Structure 1
């Protein structure tokens, strides 16, 4: 490392978002010990898996998967919080690369034409400076070479946070939340993969899929970093 890197590490040490220990060279966001203890779902490309069944009857989903299980206060929750609120953009991309690396051998990405991250409302995007779902998708793209489509769907209002809402309130909170744009016609006859950070009730992802379902011949799959099963 250069002297400038050494000085930066001394005054602004990189710390693990979970345990708070100093990160070693080559570690991003999480130390090796915390990375090794993350709760994998091992869903990968299992047809008709439980996560996929969450969307049956809501829209004609092709496949669905998530890399980790989410638990309140757990390591994955700490990662998600850092991604969304602590400006950890590199961590977002790294998590996307992790999704891509883990799911690629299973054939999960076969036939996917575009990655479509769930969009933020423009004011929230301006405040945060980035969309964590878009950065996740960029990480997946780095590992799979699947292109991103960023302008096919937009969020039409800044809905209140879903964090403390009941299941029913979550569904009411996302009614009419997304709208397909004229650029969505580029997805005619394509198989898209909606990308989001976490799946809870599925309300947000279903609302996003609904906005795109009128596109002729579109096929929709879903992937998230975490699943609050």
Structure 2
């Protein structure tokens, strides 16, 4: 039966080859989600190995974080933008999981995240989750948590208000849009723990900081770090 399954997979891959989520070229044997060339040329930030980096500095004066980093720079008009839009809007949740694994390997190797005890994905409002069918941040969080060897907590933090899209809003409008949007349901699960809060894209940081701030208000003895799969050069003040 296994031989037949392998034969069927080979036939399917011959006529419908898996393609790179960035460039669209067929993936070679052993490649997953993103081809070797795109991985080698990815716009990685390197921030996961720096205790002092632009994402951490974005939090200064706003939130006491242990660590904070982004994995990729969000490049408009690039294949990486298409990859992110794929799992945000086109159902490619496996891509989100694979990207989380990739990011998680680097977080683990850096040594800066060794004492993280659980990973919390930024929650979606139930209405938006139902419409999309899943929360992409949960899949990114799963990949990261697997690499760090810690659990994912999907239940302790929830979104109490269905906020409008942050796109095309000013900094002030973004902050106001997510004010009071998050709440903690089970503070005892996070008490005294080092929590890694994960989101897909960080632009101004309003959403991540709002959620992290609510966690710290509800659980004062919690330590919190932030991880975003993609970050904006412009918002971080980083030159290309």
TM-score between the two structures when normalised by the length of structure 2: 0.89
- Partner of 1:106 in structure 2? 110
- Partner of 1:227 in structure 2? 231
**Structure 1, 31-40 or 193-202: larger mean CA deviation:** 31-40
- Partner of 1:166 in structure 2? 170
Unaligned 5+ segments in structure 1 are none
- Partner of 1:23 in structure 2? 27
Greater per-residue helix proportion = 2
Unaligned 5+ segments in structure 2 are 234-240
- Partner of 2:70 in structure 1? 66
Query: What CA RMSD, in Å, does the superposition of the two structures yield over aligned residues?
Result: 1.6
* 1:7 to partner: Cα distance: 3.2
* 1:77 to partner: Cα distance: 1.3
* 1:158 to partner: Cα distance: 1.7
- For 2:179 and 2:202, the matched residues in 1 are separated by 17
- For 1:219 and 1:126, the matched residues in 2 are separated by 31
* 1:12 to partner: Cα distance: 3.5
- 2:180 paired with 1:185: no
Q: Is the 8 A contact 1:34 1:75 kept in 2?
A: no
- For 2:131 and 2:181, the matched residues in 1 are separated by 19
- Partner of 2:199 in structure 1? 196
* 1:222 to partner: Cα distance: 0.3
- For 1:105 and 1:58, the matched residues in 2 are separated by 28
* 1:34 to partner: Cα distance: 1.4
Q: Is the 8 A contact 2:201 2:228 kept in 1?
A: yes
Q: Deviations over 1:119-163 (max 9, x none)?
A: 111111112221111111111122111111111111112211112
* 1:177 to partner: Cα distance: 1.0
- 2:52 paired with 1:42: no
- For 2:101 and 2:19, the matched residues in 1 are separated by 20
